[in-house]
């Protein structure tokens, strides 16, 4: 006999008690696209909201191969050993054709995967902007309510995911490689402007000299940019996630950043701005969903697209007609 699904109230109680199975179930509910599940997820989040906001939220990005998962595995293990509870939200790239994703982060984070003070949640991006899970913000809140005081959000490091993650975290860490050709050639100015710290990974052993040269280039590049915070100047550090070198010093910068921005008032202001951006993001998502599912739009859209493609209908008029179908 199948047991009935727990109510949002019951699920919230279990999440607050640290029930890992309930935490996983809550996140699955949040990630569901079913309309009835969205209503339940909203009720759940409203109950959990008073118990959120205390964790330190850190975004981690970098090109594929830079060692994000290895670095997070080592850093997270250091933090749990120091008494922290760490949640890793690792967003996998979804196939644009099948919607499938690799979801291999648990195999790449072997130590954290078996650590009782850690929780890893690989979530497919499902085609959302830049490879960031549609429900990553809400998942962060659920993990905070469950008692995790450090939230690490790993992105796939492509497209516009950096901007999206920076808009939901307190600290944005950019991992770079030493000796990867012209160090500044592949750096987008936007990423440098978002970075709260640059960490040159794989800087141990024979790579040390190249890493130091790369760090000097990054420092020079950061120096000519206008700092986004009056209380913080982004440092450049050398680390090795695999050898566990420089990670404690790197984390000390993260903690120092929080202390400085809290003292200046920037921390609270940034969190407030992020809440408003989250609201608008969800509203835009809801409108896109309405466009995809509205019967009148679905019936008329093929003809409108055909007319626009043939040059018989101006895109402006097409947009007006589609918007009118949903009363916008």
pLDDT at res. 125: 53
Kindly write down the DSSP assignment for every residue of 203-231, as one continuous string. Answer: -SGGGHHHHHHHHHHHHHHHHTSPPSBTT
pTM equals 0.85
User: How far, in Å, CA of 49 to CA of 66, rounded?
Assistant: 35
Q: Is residue 154 part of a domain?
A: yes
The verdict on 169 and 75 lying in the same domain is yes
Q: Is residue 195 part of a domain?
A: yes
Same domain for 202 and 316? Answer: no
Residues 310 and 228 in one domain: no
What CATH number did the domain enclosing 185 receive? 3.40.50.300
Q: Residue 272 falls within a domain, yes or no? A: no
Contact 85, 149 (CB under 8 A): yes
Domain identity same for 65 and 158: yes
Same structural domain, 230 and 208: yes
274 inside domain = no
Whole-angstrom Cα distance, residue 242 to residue 209?
Answer: 18
Average pLDDT of the residues of the chain = 85
Q: If pLDDT is split at 50, 70 and 90, which confidence band does 180 have?
A: low
Residue in 196, 193, 244, 192 with CA at minimum distance from that of residue 218: 192
Whether 20 and 65 map to the same domain: the answer is no
Q: Which region among 86-90, 155-159, 290-294 has the lowest average model confidence (pLDDT)? A: 155-159
Q: Is residue 268 domain-resident?
A: no
In-domain check, residue 273: no
Higher pLDDT, 181 or 66: 66
Task: Select, from the ranges 176-190, 280-294, 296-310, the one with the highest average predicted confidence (pLDDT).
Answer: 296-310
Higher pLDDT, 57 or 121: 57
- CA dihedral of 204, 109, 254, 166, whole degrees rounded to 10: 110
In a domain, 269, yes or no: no
- Is the domain of 66 the same as that of 46? no
- Number of structural domains in the chain: 3
| Closest to 130 in 3D by CA, of 287, 293, 281, 315 | 281
* Domain encompassing residue 10: 1-50
Confidence band, pLDDT 50/70/90 cuts, at residue 34: confident
The pLDDT score that the predictor gives to residue 123 is 66
For the cut 90, the answer to whether the pLDDT of residue 303 exceeds it is yes
Whether residue 180 sits in one domain with residue 118 = yes
Examine the domain organization and report whether 233 and 147 are in the same domain. Answer: yes
Residues 28 and 42 in one domain: yes
Using the 8-state DSSP alphabet, how is residue 65 labeled? T
- Residue 96 has a pLDDT of 38
In tens, the pLDDT along 86-138 reads: 999 986 554 333 343 444 455 678 899 999 999 998 765 554 544 355 688 89
Q: Are residues 176 and 309 in the same domain?
A: no
pLDDT score for 320: 93
Tell me whether residue 176 is in a domain: yes
Examine the domain organization and report whether 45 and 99 are in the same domain: no
Query: Does the pLDDT at position 187 exceed 80?
Result: no
pLDDT band per the 50, 70, 90 thresholds, residue 70: very high
Maximum average pLDDT range among 112-126, 176-190, 260-274: 260-274
């Amino acid at each position: 006999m199948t047991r009935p699904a727990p109510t949002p109230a019951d699920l919230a109680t279990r999440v607050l008690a640290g029930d890992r199975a309930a935490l996983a179930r809550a996140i699955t509910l949040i990630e569901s696209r079913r309309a009835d599940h969205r209503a339940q997820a909203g009720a759940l989040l409203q109950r959990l909201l008073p118990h959120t906001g205390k964790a330190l939220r850190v975004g981690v990005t970098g090109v594929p191969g830079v060692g994000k998962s290895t670095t997070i595995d080592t850093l997270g293990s250091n933090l749990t050993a120091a008494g922290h509870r760490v949640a890793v939200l690792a967003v996998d790239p979804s196939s644009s054709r099948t919607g499938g994703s690799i979801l291999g982060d648990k195999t790449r984070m072997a130590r954290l995967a078996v650590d009782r003070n850690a929780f890893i949640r690989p979530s497919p991006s499902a085609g959302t902007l830049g490879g960031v899970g549609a429900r990553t913000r809400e998942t962060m809140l659920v993990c905070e309510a469950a008692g995790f005081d450090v939230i690490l959000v790993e992105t796939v490091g492509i497209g516009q995911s950096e901007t999206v993650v920076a808009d939901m975290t307190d600290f944005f860490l950019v991992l770079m490689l030493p000796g990867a050709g012209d160090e500044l050639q592949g750096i987008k100015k936007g990423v440098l402007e978002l970075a709260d710290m640059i960490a040159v990974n794989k800087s141990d052993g024979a790579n040390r000299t190249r890493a130091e040269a790369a760090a000097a280039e990054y420092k020079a590049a950061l120096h000519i940019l206008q700092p986004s915070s009056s209380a913080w100047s982004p440092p450049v550090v050398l680390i090795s996630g695999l050898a566990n070198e420089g990670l404690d010093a790197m984390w000390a910068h993260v903690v120092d950043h929080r202390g400085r921005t809290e003292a200046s008032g920037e921390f609270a202001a940034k969190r407030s701005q992020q809440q408003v951006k989250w609201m608008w993001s969800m509203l835009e998502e809801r409108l896109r969903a309405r466009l995809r599912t509205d019967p009148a739009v679905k019936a008329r859209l093929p003809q409108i697209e055909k007319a626009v493609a043939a040059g018989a209908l101006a895109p402006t008029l097409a947009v007006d007609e589609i918007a009118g179908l949903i009363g916008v």
